[in-house]
Amino acid sequence: MKRPPLWLLLSSGLALTSSFSFANGGETTAENILLSSKSSYDGNITNQEFSPNTKTSTTNYYVIGNVMIANAGLKPTNADLKTIETGLTSSCFFVSNGDLNFIGNGHSLNFYNIQTKSIQNGNPPPPPPSPQLIPAAIEVKGSSVGTTDIHIQETSPKNIGNLSVQGFSNFSCMFCPPLNQTTSSTLGAIKTTGSSTFINNAYLTFDNNRSPENGGAISSSGITIESSLLSTTFSSNSSAKSGGALYSNKNITISGNRRVVFSKNISTQTTTVSNPASLSSDEHLKLEKTPADKETFPKAESESSIDAVLPKAILNIPLSSQHFAVPLLASISNQEVSQVTTLCGGGAICSGASDSMVTLENNGYLMFTENSSKTQGGAICANKLTLSSGGPVLFLNNSVESSSPKGGAIAIMGDSGTCSITADRGNIIFDGNTIITTSAQQQQAEKKVQSPPTTTRNSIDLSSGCTLKDLRAKSGYGIFFYDPITSEPPKAAGKSKENSQSLNINNPDSTNASVYTGAIVFSGEHVSPENTVSQEEALTENLNVKSKISQPVALKAGSLALRSRAILEVNSFSQDAGSLLVMDLGTTLQTPKTTTGSSILKTSSSKDVTLSASVPSATTHDVTPASATGITISSLGINVGSMINESHPVTIKAQGTSETATVTAISLVDSSGNSYESPNFGKNKTFNNVINISGTPASHILSVISGNTVDSTKQVPLPHYGYQGTWTVTWSDANAKSGNGNKTVSLSWEESGYKVNPERKGSLIPNTLWGNFSDIRAVHNLIENNLHNNQRCLGFWASGLGNFLHKSSSGDRQKFRHNSGGYSLGILGKTNKDNTLSVSFFQIFSSNKDFLVSKNSATAYGTSLCYQHTNYWKGWSCLGITSPVTLNTLLSYTYASNRVKTEMTTTYAPAGVTYPKLKGDWGNNTLAVECEGSTIISTPCSRIFDNYAPFLKLQLIYAHQGDFQENDSTYGRYFDSSSLTNLSLPLGIRFEKHSKKENASYNLTLIYSPDVIRSNPESHAHLLNDPNVAKWVSKGTNLARQAFILRTGNRYMYSPNILLLGEFNFEIRGSSHTYNVNLGSKICF
């Protein structure tokens, strides 16, 4: 295994060496021991019994090699290698009265497959003697309080049973006890009466550990896991009581780690303990300690006392006792013990004391998945929880199963518990967490029947008196509740919902001036259809989508979103300026029902509606009075996307005594940014009863808002892709005759056009013509290379070709790439001494890509006819030309069969829409004509070249793309035909040099090629399902009109009849470049 970097080892060693020397009157009392790989043990390869490392006072282990303790406490019996339980009488490392510190120095310490057995206490205090359970890996005891033992009288603060594990490349405890052994005697992996601290380790792994008591992996009075460099994993641990992985009656802190995963941990306790007399022996820490085992595992010479090895300057550094200190309790009443020892559940983590805190913050990745409990808190059960993201935080598929389950993912218990959740640097997601309610057997028709369990989605449960302290997210992040929150109102006498503590969503942090403008989302979109009922079927009773927060709620900044029929019930609701409440159709915001009294309705006038696509930043942070009642909405955003498939209105209900419902401004928000891509907006349409604001009395109090346009009932959405149009808002009284005072809002849409998004534009289709243009020019270069210096009357040639065109994006023109390869076969011969004729056939295979969603493959077939005439006319001398002039005429035609595939993503898709793969095929035709005149001029005095040949070309290329339509009638497109025309005048000079030793030559050509006439390709396109409105022009790319070309090649006469030749061309334009290569041979007869 690769070790951590040297800086880690040095910093860990120096820092920890200084931390683990305990000063007492100037003398060091801790024992320091070196631990090397010679301390490793594997019971499968040795017959020697493992001897536990037991100490009676504070001990520091300095690890100088990788240590593995495996298969301890097991005894082989026969050939089939089955084992029977024997068990160690002590943990592998045990301190009976002090602290235990491990300094890893970049090495590993692993415990695997270890079994212990219970021992009988020697002289225990009441209750009666019972066997003492022993953890498999590590146990640390101390004489100071901080434990659950009400009989401890000693108050010495020196030795309080703390554990520290630091600086390891890998620290793991696995299968403690082994899977095939009973858990009745092995107390998980680690237990300490003080705190357990894990810091600056690379890997921490606790897997398949089990305990009949609290804490399947670790049970301590305070747990800290910090700064793990790579990964921290707790998986498949189980506790028969509370805390499937971790249990502490003090604070639990997990912070600053790179990756933390709690997976498939379970706590199985089904009842709670309220009487301390009923506690098991494990929960009573005795005054009389078990005598330490004097036998130790044999030490090698290198494992002698560390005092003889380390410099005295290091050993004399005093240990800071505050680092491990636990608050001292002089006396504990029976009531306090009951609070400490109440079994709280928690499939992964349980912090049982009323004043304890679980802190999860600044972890790069944090996931709780498939943890479960039999009481409450599928993942976490705590009195106080602070959760702050340092990256993604996921609570997935955790569960609680009992007759009265609480908290599918998190349970907050006690009379004054709090929960604070902050998305600082990553999204926090609750999804798939459930509570499974089982019912007791009931007598029915003289038979005992068991009702089937009921599964309900739930993320967080707040018991009576507990509150949500913070829900906040920074800009760009959000907290997503796909599972509802539940809470119980205070039960104390005199308490009511009006005086409970307010939840201020996205409230700024008073300690560090952080501003929170992110999104808090309650959504039912992941609820399976079978768990969803319609509003006609009492939607308010659908617990899979209903969140209840028994507190006044104030939205201070950012956005609060209700999606997919989610219901949010709060004691009261208000919002500050600059915040936005976003609601889907079918969602509900309400206050609890009361049996008496009435509600007052306040709405805006019919003159104010605005369209928006983003949430404005917060501008004020007013203090919401605790006595605020009813619902006051100053900025309500209706999600346009929810109008596509939802027919039920947004519902706002103030149901309490004398409560008011006030809405003063409405905006239309496209939450996904793609809602207008839906065909629903391709025609004029009226959406009736979009908002329903209900109240009991018939009297209305309306807030009149002036519009900011001439006709304030009409508004145009902000710029977007998809259908364009105008909204009109209409207010009306619903059921006015009945006097119920309901107010409704209707919206009308008038379409006015369509704006295509980049993925749907399809610019790759006309761009295929540029690929044909590039290929036919490459073929012309190949033919010209074969005809040059032809000296025989008859010959056959064959060449291979590769061509590559890359065009960068510019303006609204997308990036484009064309790659092709093929071959050409030709024959040539001279009709007389001055004329040469060549006929060739070629086939080209190509692929085109737009770097978005479309790919095209094509196969092209073509033919060329070339005529070359050499003129010795003496009139050329009048122009200063003494060499003969060669005239070339080249005519080519190709047909390309194209097959395009388009796989549009959800980037521009409306919510809930997945586009199918679109396919289409069509043909392209290309015609090219080229005329060239050149003359060769010898340069006998030049050492570099033997001759040069200036030339001038006229090159005309015309390409045509056929029309076609894609295969899907719902999302497919039709593309009309398009064409490309380009006339260029290449001007250049070719240099050539012949080898004196061999029959070979090389040449270099420089060309400047301006395009004097150009018609760029563009295709008129439309959607098949809406050809009249959803139409656009798909424009091809536009190559720069001026190009510079560099060409080099060589020829080698392999034999009198065989000529080998090759050529490389590079063309550069303003925003594109093309390069091609051809290699071939010519056989002369």
Nearest residue to 225 via CA among 152, 163, 269, 280: 163
CB 409 within 8 A of CB 378: yes
Domains of the chain, with CATH numbers? 1-212 (no CATH), 529-755 (no CATH), 758-1084 (2.40.128.130)
DSSP 145-212: SSSS-TT-----SS----EEEES-SEEEEESSS-TTS-SSSB--SEEESS-EEEES-SEEEEES-EES
pLDDT at 4 over 50: no
| pLDDT score, position 800 | 95
Q: How far is CA 1020 from the centre of its chain?
A: 39
pLDDT at 598 over 90: no
Bigger pLDDT: 739 vs 90: 90
Q: How far apart are CA 430 and CA 369, in angstroms?
A: 10
Q: Positive or negative, the Cα torsion across 943, 947, 950, 954?
A: negative
Q: How far apart are CA 8 and CA 230, in angstroms?
A: 13
Q: How far apart are CA 683 and CA 686, in angstroms?
A: 10
CB 263 within 8 A of CB 236: yes
DSSP 578-645: T-EEEE-TT-EEE----SS--EEEEEE-TT--EEESSPPPP---PPPPTT--EEEES-EEEEGGGGTT
Q: How confident is the model at residue 718 (pLDDT cuts 50, 70, 90)?
A: confident
Lowest mean pLDDT across 3-17, 296-310, 311-325, 616-630: 311-325
pLDDT at 21 over 60: no
Enumerate the β-bridge partners of residue 375. none
CB 20 within 8 A of CB 320: no
| pLDDT score, position 988 | 94
Q: How confident is the model at residue 257 (pLDDT cuts 50, 70, 90)?
A: very high
| pLDDT score, position 538 | 40
pLDDT at 1026 over 80: yes
pTM score: 0.77
Percent of the chain with pLDDT over 70: 76
Q: What is the mean pLDDT of residues 264-273?
A: 76
Bigger pLDDT: 812 vs 108: 108
Each as own residue / partner, the long-range contacts of residues 531-539 (CB below 8 Å, 24 or more positions apart, any chain) are 531/455, 531/457, 532/565, 534/648, 535/565, 535/586, 535/648, 539/565, 539/567, 539/588
- Residue located via tokens 């509150």: 467
Q: DSSP 3-state assignment of 777? A: helix
Q: What is the mean pLDDT of residues 141-145?
A: 68
Can you list the positions of beta strands (E) in 903-968? Answer: 918-935, 937-938, 947-961, 964-965
Percent of the chain with pLDDT over 90: 54
- Count, residues in the chain: 1085
What lies within 8 Å, CB to CB, of 491 at 6+ separation is 464, 465
| pLDDT score, position 27 | 42
Q: 773: part of which helix (H) or strand (E)? A: helix 764-787
Q: What is the mean pLDDT of residues 1068-1072?
A: 91
Cα Dmax for the chain: 130
Give me the chain's average pLDDT, please.
Answer: 80
| pLDDT score, position 1059 | 87
CB 582 within 8 A of CB 691: no
CB count, 10 Å around CB of 552?
Answer: 25
pLDDT at 592 over 60: yes
- DSSP code of 376? B
Bigger pLDDT: 336 vs 270: 270
- Residue located via tokens 């388009």: 902
Q: How confident is the model at residue 725 (pLDDT cuts 50, 70, 90)?
A: very high
Q: How far apart are CA 992 and CA 949, in angstroms?
A: 8
Token readout for 894 is 């190709």
Bigger pLDDT: 280 vs 137: 137
CB 885 within 8 A of CB 869: no
Q: How far apart are CA 1007 and CA 988, in angstroms?
A: 4
Residue 782: what residue type?
Answer: L
User: Each residue of 1030-1047: pLDDT tens digit?
Assistant: 999 999 999 999 999 999
| pLDDT score, position 1004 | 94
Token readout for 852 is 């978005």
Q: What is the mean pLDDT of residues 1057-1074?
A: 92
- Residue located via tokens 């040095």: 10
Q: DSSP 3-state assignment of 277? A: helix
Bigger pLDDT: 707 vs 640: 640
| pLDDT score, position 877 | 60
| pLDDT score, position 839 | 94
Bigger pLDDT: 279 vs 718: 718
Q: How confident is the model at residue 606 (pLDDT cuts 50, 70, 90)?
A: very low
Most confident option among 338-347, 377-386, 812-821, 990-999: 377-386
Bigger pLDDT: 534 vs 1055: 1055
Q: How far apart are CA 64 and CA 107, in angstroms?
A: 7
Bigger pLDDT: 602 vs 274: 602
Q: How confident is the model at residue 20 (pLDDT cuts 50, 70, 90)?
A: very low
CB count, 10 Å around CB of 757?
Answer: 17
Q: What is the mean pLDDT of residues 333-337?
A: 36
pLDDT at 325 over 60: no
Bigger pLDDT: 499 vs 897: 897
- 1059 Ramachandran zone, left/alpha/beta (phi>0; psi -120 to 50): beta
User: Each residue of 394-450: pLDDT tens digit?
Assistant: 999 999 999 899 999 999 998 889 999 999 999 999 999 999 998 754 434 445 556
- DSSP code of 810? B
Most confident option among 207-221, 275-289, 775-789: 207-221
What lies within 8 Å, CB to CB, of 80 at 6+ separation is none
Nearest residue to 343 via CA among 321, 319, 376: 376
- Residue located via tokens 């749907």: 760
Q: How confident is the model at residue 713 (pLDDT cuts 50, 70, 90)?
A: low
Q: How confident is the model at residue 129 (pLDDT cuts 50, 70, 90)?
A: low
| pLDDT score, position 329 | 30
| pLDDT score, position 628 | 52
| pLDDT score, position 989 | 94
pLDDT at 556 over 90: yes
